[in-house]
Amino acid sequence: MNQPLTEMEGMVLAQIAREGALTAYEVKEAFRLSPSQFWSGSAGAVYPLMKRMQDRGYVKSKDVSQNKRPRREFSLTAAGKKAMQGWLSDSKRAIDPGYDPLRSRLLFIQLLPENRQRQFLEQVQQQMATIPAPQKAGEIAEKLHGLWLDSRRKWLDRFIRFLGRQ
């Protein structure tokens, strides 16, 4: 078998599958507009990734330029669809905590003096409401994001209450 897809590769293939066909530029923009700073949405990540996926036979490209401006659209092959679905249904990966910057920090919150602890936790509570949902990803994505935000807020509240009782 082929080596498993990275998280970024999986998301790119999934995005292309959902939209039917996308240019590398559009893929890059989707990452750039995502709420996570961890996806920089850099050309230097996306263009070589597309080449990699094409070399593995997961995407095919078509030049659809209509004038002098280039436009190369990528779409999934059958193998690409299969690989994408394999990534998507990998439950072992799915249950992994991944990189959770808030969780990492709460784990060590006691290393901060108490006044800075309170300040940090209040700032997080305030700023959390403003995290934008992914763009153009439809109703499901917005619902998922809303529920996610809500559950994180409750998690943080409960943890703060626990700290108070300590």
Partner DNA sequence: CAGAGCATGTAAGAAGTTACATGATTGT
Partner DNA sequence: ACAATCATGTAACTTCTTACATGCTCTG
Q: Applying CB under 7 A, which residues contact DNA?
A: 3, 6-9, 23-26, 28-29, 38-45, 47-50, 52, 67-72
71 binds, among a second copy, DNA, none (CB under 5 to 8 A by kind): DNA
Rounded distance between C-alpha atoms, residue 58 and residue 106, angstroms: 40
Q: Which of 69, 52, 59 is nearest to 22 (CA)?
A: 59
26 binds, among a second copy, DNA, none (CB under 5 to 8 A by kind): DNA
Helix (H, G, I), strand (E, B) or coil at 6: coil
79 binds, among a second copy, DNA, none (CB under 5 to 8 A by kind): none
Cross-sheet strand order for the sheet of 59-63: 22-23, 72-76, 59-63
Considering the complex, what minimum distance in angstroms separates the CB of residue 80 from DNA? Answer: 16
Rounded distance between C-alpha atoms, residue 70 and residue 76, angstroms: 20
**CA distance readout (Å), 66 to 16, 29, 46:** 21, 21, 23
DSSP state of 59: E
Residues within the interface to a second copy (CB under 8 A): 7, 10-11, 14-15, 17-18, 35-38, 84-85, 88-112, 116, 119-120, 123-124, 127-128, 131, 134, 137, 140-141, 143-144, 147-148, 150-152, 154-155, 158-159, 162-163, 166
Would you state the structure tokens that stand for residue 166, as one six-digit string? Answer: 């300590």
Considering the complex, what minimum distance in angstroms separates the CB of residue 107 from DNA? Answer: 17
Considering the complex, what minimum distance in angstroms separates the CB of residue 107 from a second copy? Answer: 6
Measured from the CB atom, the residue of 56 and 145 that comes closer to DNA is 56
Would you state the structure tokens that stand for residue 137, as one six-digit string? Answer: 């990803």
**How many C-beta neighbours within 10 Å does residue 158 have?**
10
Considering the complex, what minimum distance in angstroms separates the CB of residue 98 from DNA? Answer: 12
